Structure 1
Amino acid sequence: MTAVFRFAPSPNGYLHLGHALSALLNQKLAQAAGGRMLLRIEDIDTARCTPALKAAMLEDLRWIGFAHEELPRRQSEHFGEYAAALARLQSMGLVYEAYLTRSEIRGFVAETEAQGKPWPQDPDGAPLYPGDAALLGAGEIERRRASGAPFALRLDMRKAVSLLKGPLCWQEEGAEGQGRTVTADPLAWGDVILARKDTPTSYHLSVTLDDALQGVTHVVRGQDLFLATSVHRLLQVLLGLPEPRYHHHRLILGADGRKLSKSEGHTALRELRAAGWTVEDVRRRIGI
């Protein structure tokens, strides 16, 4: 079977050195395996992922020498497919409307912790969703629903996990090709968001479905997404999707010791190029 790799950036800002590492590592591993190299544009956030940023992303990828098959998949063109997958999960009774706002959640958590009761957090540090019933009565929930209030569609994680027939794991390949089996823990994430009232998908749902629809066999991405694989493996089982192999690579860190981030304004590839960096400088800095 032909190995299929993908690089899947979100054009909501300019690419930086961390993106260069992920793109070129994917390309290197695909070439070594004699496999295919796909580009996917993860632009479900149609407000922030502008045409200008998409064009800049493609220009930066060409500059660093990232070669991929033409006609990249653009998520914004496939909302219907995500909606169909969501509908399947809804038909299984695994999805519910969640009306609590971020401020209401923060207030509930603060009040709970003020009473000396620590509130659990997901691996990214966000508080687990407490459930509408914890703050809202049945009447208020129905009032919000009838008024057309915004809501998120969340996965009932405990119910979903109860459907599993055995242990949930994934195969993680190391930097030198050695592999290990990792036990997934989707419950650590609580009731994750699968979509919103006005957007029929989320990162978790779209990335899982895209990998399956594109026949991706090897998911190579940053270590910051290692624990999120638990959610993706659960969705794969629930939707009857194939399981790829995973490799979560090291991150490029900034001077503050944190991973590079578009939202934090870390130096973009195009700024480095304007400052005189060459592609060889980029490769040397990221260790490719």
Structure 2
Amino acid sequence: MTTKIAPWIFTASCPSIIGTVDVVTRYMAESGHYVDEIHSFDDRESGRFFIRVEFLPKKEGFSASVFDQEFSARAKDFNMEWALTEPNHRPRVAIMVSKYDHCLNDLLYRFRTGQLNIDVTVIISNHPDLEELAKWHRIPYYHLPITAETKLEQEAQVKSLIEQYDTELVVLARYMQVLSPDMCEYLDGRAINIHHSLLPGFKGARPYHQAWEKGVKMVGATAHYVNNDLDEGPIISQGIQVVNHAHYVEDLVAKGQDIERVTLFNAVKCHIEKRVFLNGKRTVVFGG
């Protein structure tokens, strides 16, 4: 079995004008970089172009600084915003959770087995219940209780921990608190949330009980970036599963939690692999 060599990842976006693909691929070819994977999309509604390239330098002595200098000169004519990610970059991730442990357990398992190329550096919770799980994984766990009166103080502590652990991504793995507008702005573009998405939309307490009472025929979950519109941030990944009259509340809960786990994993994986681009209130997500 051949092991794939970890590639460099190039991502960029710019206004939709002629030559956007060419400026990237021509530079790759002229610089001796083998393009292993490429995705692009031109959004005619927003007038934005998006591209993601995985490449392998074929010449010895590849230098990211030289790449930066040379490509910047070409990108300038396209008003292109771009980034270069080195092979096997492991983003530093903070996980926030309340009492439900299914998403946290799944993320920690995938982190431990290498399915997610991340470093989980800290777990933050408003309850003490999952501290033993964190200890077993040798990950620092902070119990930060929260009330309506202490919300701003608690969020200030969370921000301090995010900075302390040099966090690149925050994952809300069933963190059952509404973030303040200030916190949402602070985490803009670097925090992913998971929630149930049932048809019709059942908000508030006991959503699966509400769904069972209405006789739903489908359960699902949505992973999205956090913003100030509750559970309405730009969507990264969704999952669904068909159910029927023979599924009771406990069945819906079990199936829903399974979908939440997989959907959150897919969203985190796409984010850390630089496959997600924010496009206004929407996202462009290139598959792997």
**TM-score after normalising by structure 1:** 0.26
**TM-score after normalising by structure 2:** 0.26
More strand by share: 2
| Higher RCO, Cα 8 Å, sep 6+ | 1
